[in-house]
Chains A and B, each alone.
Chain A
């Protein structure tokens, strides 16, 4: 079946602009995660959604970052007033349950470059 999809694959923006990154999880997966992969910080957890529960936003690096998940499926990660340090690959993952032993399956990522 179809895996996790993300769009756009690449995004180049100017410092100070807002960007939106989209994630479509695997159909039927209730849990959705965002991670960030950067040269200096490696792979970092950003945010977690599980069903209709309140998301865990503990990994978001600043209040410029926000995310939502509509209808328990598609998620959008928004970065406001982008900074150069936001340049990274943003990875989305989904899993069947979000707890226990389930496996997180990752999308291809969105490479964000802030000029």
Chain B
């Protein structure tokens, strides 16, 4: 079975500061890892994914994530947060030959001006 943990329910940062949203996973085999963002009353928007290759993945809106196999982590990062980055962030995992995404519980990010 596959699972994802997002250890922080909330992350608060000041605008212009670095933003990190943590994610760890548990799977049998190689994982495919995804980050999505959800704004109020909206669906999930895809940010980035790791499939294979370079451990540092760059995505939309200046976000990036680093795959760390030894620590089974896939933390989302942004060097300089914006107020508009305030939203709910979900990490998700899928294994090869499967199609279901397993989501973490989500992390609410608040960026204060």
Tell me whether A106 and B44 are in contact (CB under 8 A): yes
Partner of B43, one of A45, A100, A109: A109
How far is A6 from B42 in the complex, measured between Cα atoms in Å? 11
Tell me whether B34 and A33 are in contact (CB under 8 A): no
Tell me whether B99 and A106 are in contact (CB under 8 A): no
Return A95 CB to nearest CB of chain B, in Å. 8
Number of B positions contacting A (CB below 8 A): 24
Tell me whether A31 and B51 are in contact (CB under 8 A): no
Within 40-58 of B, Cβ neighbours of A (below 8 Å) are at: 41-46, 49, 51
How far is A104 from B106 in the complex, measured between Cα atoms in Å? 17
Q: CB-defined interface of B53-79 with A at 8 Å, one 1/0 digit per residue?
A: 000000000000000000000000000
Residues of B within 8 A of A (CB): 32, 34, 36, 41-46, 49, 51, 90, 92, 96-106
Name 13 A/B residue pairs within 8 A (Cβ), A-sorted: A6-B43, A33-B99, A42-B103, A42-B105, A43-B92, A43-B103, A45-B101, A48-B100, A91-B43, A101-B49, A106-B36, A107-B43, A108-B43
The 10 residue pairs across chains A and B that have the minimum distance between CB atoms:
A43-B103, A106-B44, A106-B43, A108-B43, A101-B51, A45-B100, A109-B43, A98-B99, A107-B43, A42-B105
